Structure 1
Amino acid sequence: MSNPTPRRRFLRTALGLAGVTLLSRPAQAAILTPQQTEGPFYPTGPMRHADIDNDLVRIAGAVRQAGGTIIRLTGRVLDRSGNPIPEARVEIWQCDAWGNYMHTRDRGSDMHDPAFQGFGHDITDAQGRYSFRTIKPVPYPGRTPHIHVKAFAQGREVTTQFYLANEPANQRDGIFRRLSQAEQEAVSMRFTDTGGDPQTTVDITL
């Protein structure tokens, strides 16, 4: 595997200082991360920026960072016994701060924030940890705020969505409402203030 980029090394250091394993919620290991729809806006290779990493708010060569509230999304990829899985691939994609996806099927794609990567991936470390720097998800017509997630590990794959905990629009969202209460909790993002960007930790179990 190639050496991590400076930005990835920075994120790893920040995670270590924040004690990410202490922030993980053990209860999530008891339930499999629920499978959910991929949706119509999963970006294929030609749609993705050449600068694909785990920092979605800063694109190489861009003069500014993405609009929106910047957050750190962290967690672990676990097997069904709660053991961490190293070298798992985690992908996320989401709309920009104005509700536009970087996808040809989105009518607003021509207005997509050019400073927002829109899609990113990370590879888990020896403790199964992943991390992303992205923006807090926003709603758009017909959907509550969410981040799309895919994880690949040990020949298995899960596609799901992460939601804002206690978001009123969740109860009007048909995709969210199909989940059991335990599944909803397993994919809900709760933020802590660590003195920098708001941070949330969601484990993925598959």
Structure 2
Amino acid sequence: MTVELTPSQTVGPFLSIGLIWDDGPDVVPEGTPGRVTIGGTVSDGAGDPVTDALVETWQADPDGRFDHPDDPRGARETPGFRAFGRSATDADGRWEIHTLLPAALPGEAPHLDVSVFARGLLDRVVTRIYLPDHPDNATDPLLTSVPEARRDTLIAVREQDDRLRFDVRLQGAGETVFLAL
């Protein structure tokens, strides 16, 4: 018997069925001390907004710990912090999450892991958001492995004390650096 692979499918209209949560953007609840908003736009190769994308974030806590078996230190209890956010883009391609900034991990600069799902993609694309002007960025192994001219596609821009901007460009000039997993 020969078994053939099922062809990959692009992300489709089912995206809004079960993947979008009402509280998805709230990694921490409103009123949490230190809460910041990280958001931006998702655009395609022509620079047009992608209005049906989903941006997921996963991050360490403010102590630099992951609630994950690969982090033997384990996460500390941070009330209301769930480490995972999910935001659908709106009619202008905008997304945002409300979270606490992560601290550095051993040997790595503070960052958020990001997955983007959108029409036309056969699989999610994965990237990172690094914090602007953080001294550990200069020694982060992943960030320093990216050609210097493209590193800015991985570093958020501070708009206000409590707001960072991170735009995702799926293709073309200024394309975000995506990771091969």
Residue number in structure 1 paired with 2:175: none
Residue number in structure 1 paired with 2:104: 139
CA shift, 1:112, in A, is 4.2
Residue 72 of structure 2, aligned match among 107, 111, 119: 107
Deviations 1:173-196 (A, max 9, x none): 110101122321112112122xxx
- Return the letter of the residue paired with 1:77: V
For 1:160 and 1:92, the matched residues in 2 are separated by: 10
Normalising by structure 1, what TM-score?
0.66
Structure 1 residues 98 and 110: CA distance shift in structure 2, 3 A: closer
For 1:83 and 1:141, the matched residues in 2 are separated by: 38
Residue 53 of structure 1, aligned match among 15, 24, 34: 24
- Return the letter of the residue paired with 2:162: P
Deviations 1:138-186 (A, max 9, x none): 1121111111111011132310111122222111111010112232111
Q: List structure 1 runs of 4+ shifted beyond 4 angstroms.
A: none
Residue number in structure 1 paired with 2:162: 198
Normalising by structure 2, what TM-score?
0.74
Residue number in structure 2 paired with 1:185: 152
Does the Cα contact within 8 Å between 2:65 and 2:73 map onto a contact in 1?
Answer: yes
- Return the letter of the residue paired with 1:158: V
**Equivalences for residues 22-171 of structure 1 within 5 A:** 53-58=24-29, 65=32, 69-109=34-74, 111-156=76-121, 157-171=124-138
Structure 1 residues 166 and 99: CA distance shift in structure 2, 3 A: same
Does the Cα contact within 8 Å between 1:85 and 1:128 map onto a contact in 2?
Answer: yes
**Higher helix fraction: Structure 1 or Structure 2?**
1
For 1:199 and 1:84, the matched residues in 2 are separated by: 21
For 1:110 and 1:174, the matched residues in 2 are separated by: 23
CA shift, 1:110, in A, is 5.3
Unmatched segments (≥5 aa) in structure 1 = 9-51
- Return the letter of the residue paired with 1:174: P
For 1:138 and 1:131, the matched residues in 2 are separated by: 20
> Percent of aligned positions with the same letter in both sequences?
30
Aligned length: 151
CA shift, 1:83, in A, is 0.6
Residue number in structure 1 paired with 2:5: none
Aligned with 1:184: secondary structure?
A: helix
For 1:95 and 1:159, the matched residues in 2 are separated by: 16
